[in-house]
Amino acid sequence: MRELGELDSRFAEFANRGVPIVAVSVDGQEDTARTQQRFPHLVVWGDAEHRLTNAVAALHEGKGPGHSDIAVPTTILLDKDGVIRWTFRPEHVIVRWTPDELLAAVDEHLKPNWVPLSTSGR
């Protein structure tokens, strides 16, 4: 949640680069809705059935609390055509990129594709 808060507070910098922030949650619908309310500048998408999480091989089955499934933190940069331009998946679940590091990755991998978004929200 700390990472989402940092990203939410800096959404305008991403929007100026034409990069919306989409967080995928493997939580149920109610938890996903609460997360969306808490971070209004992000798009929080629920994936309780693990369709996207499985498609990008980002699920650790049985590795969460009580042997539940847990998503591996994965950051994917897509260009305006939906082509994956960069992916980061840490070796340890606790490792996260800072907004500054992520902005640098956006600048390096997506700059030719920038189309600024409105900074008034999502």
Residue 122 pLDDT exceeds 50: no
69 is written with which tokens? 């499934």
Looking at residue 93, its pLDDT comes to 65
The 3-class secondary structure across 69-108, one letter per residue, is: CEECCCEEEECCCCCEEEEECCCCCCCCCCHHHHHHHHHH
Residue 122 maps to a domain? no
Residue 114 pLDDT exceeds 50: yes
Looking at residue 47, its pLDDT comes to 92
Indicate which CATH number applies to the domain containing 73.
Answer: 3.40.30.10
Q: Total structural domains in the chain?
A: 1
Residue 101 maps to a domain? yes
Residue 21 pLDDT exceeds 80: yes
Residue 120 maps to a domain? no
pLDDT tens sequence across 53-88? 889 888 877 877 898 877 888 888 988 888 888 888
pTM of the entire structure? 0.75
Which residue range forms the structural domain that includes residue 41?
2-113
Q: What percent of the chain has pLDDT over 70?
A: 89
